[in-house]
Amino acid sequence: MRDVLAEIDGVPPTESELEAMFVRLVKAHGLAAPSRQATFDWSSGEQGRVDFWYPAEQLIVELDGRTFHARSAAFELDRRRDQLALMRGIRTVRFTHRQVTTEPAHVVLVIRALLTG
């Protein structure tokens, strides 16, 4: 279904309301729109898919909601993928559900700094 929607709309849909909130936040503050649900050939399987990707800045943005990241195995796989990315000069920044929902100014501050610095 995701592939079909991506084909129709040109971009994959967000995975969650948290991701949709992030997209609206970025847009509302005039920040560059990231690619969504990007995958990398150096990281196989589900662990290789990231929430958002800024290719020019070599920046991954991940949103950590409680449900998915409460599982220990998912937490470990995410850290492994972050490490593999870092070995390739790709930075990862993570925001929690609470930060996106209650500290949007902080999220914007960090993203803006990473995109321009």
Please state the domain extents for the chain.
15-116
Looking at residue 42, its pLDDT comes to 78
In tens digits, the chain (117 residues) has pLDDT values of 444 444 444 444 445 899 999 999 999 999 999 999 898 887 765 566 899 999 999 999 999 876 554 567 778 888 889 999 999 999 999 999 999 999 999 999 999 999 997
Asked if 35 and 55 touch (Cβ cutoff 8 Å), the reply is yes
SS (H, E, C) 1-69: CHHHHHHHHCCCCCCCHHHHHHHHHHHHCCCCCCEEEECCCCCCCHHHCEEEEECCCCEEEEEECHHHH
Only one residue has tokens 């196989």, namely 44
Predicted pLDDT of residue 56: 96
- So what's the pLDDT on residue 70? 53
* pLDDT at residue 41 in the model: 81
* pLDDT at position 98: 94
With beta carbons less than 8 A apart as the criterion, state whether 19 and 51 touch: yes
* Third-level CATH fold of 15-116: Endonuclease; Chain A (3.40.960)
Residue 61: per-residue pLDDT: 98
Model pLDDT, residue 45: 57
88: left (phi over 0), alpha (psi -120 to 50) or beta: alpha
